Amino acid sequence: MERNGVAPLRSGGCGETTGNMIVVSRTQFLELRNHLPAATKACLQETYGISEGTWRRMREGQPIRLRTFSRIMKALDARREQALALPV
């Protein structure tokens, strides 16, 4: 089910939204962190297309823009698909 045009994560649902902002739930943040090879500026940009500031806001439970959240979710879905495509 979509909320404000953003599909929720399977494991944690959608965070709290206000206007065009969303607070990423702790469960969502932990899943994003688990898919991140390293918490560096370059890796955040390459993996999710976000800055260290956006990462910090998510980690601290502060709101981020819904369009940024949507971009992060698309990147996460792509990483999941890549992981599923890897040979066992």
Report yes or no on 1 lying in a domain. Answer: no
Residue 73 has pLDDT above 60, yes or no: yes
DSSP string over the chain: --BTTBPPBTTTB--EEETTEEEPPHHHHHHHHHT-S--SHHHHHHHHS--HHHHHHHHTT--EEHHHHHHHHHHHHHHHHHHHHS--
Residue type at 33? R
Report yes or no on 46 lying in a domain. Answer: yes
Query: What digits encode the pLDDT tens for the residues 18-61?
Result: 789 999 999 999 999 999 999 899 999 999 999 999 999 999 99
Across the chain, mean pLDDT equals 84
Number of domains the chain contains: 1
Which phi and psi angles does 38 have, rounded to 5°? -160, 145
Report yes or no on 4 lying in a domain. Answer: no
Q: What percent of the chain has pLDDT over 70?
A: 82
Report yes or no on 36 lying in a domain. Answer: yes
Beta bridge partners of 21: 18, 65
Report yes or no on 6 lying in a domain. Answer: no
Residue 10 has pLDDT above 50, yes or no: no
Nearest to 29 by CA among 13, 45, 41, 46: 13
The range of the structural domain enclosing residue 29 comes to: 16-80
> Where residue 13 falls among pLDDT bands split at 50, 70, 90?
low
Report yes or no on 11 lying in a domain. Answer: no
Report yes or no on 44 lying in a domain. Answer: yes
Looking up residue 41, the CATH number of its domain turns out to be: 1.10.260
Report yes or no on 42 lying in a domain. Answer: yes
Residue 14 has pLDDT above 70, yes or no: no
Q: What percent of the chain has pLDDT over 90?
A: 66
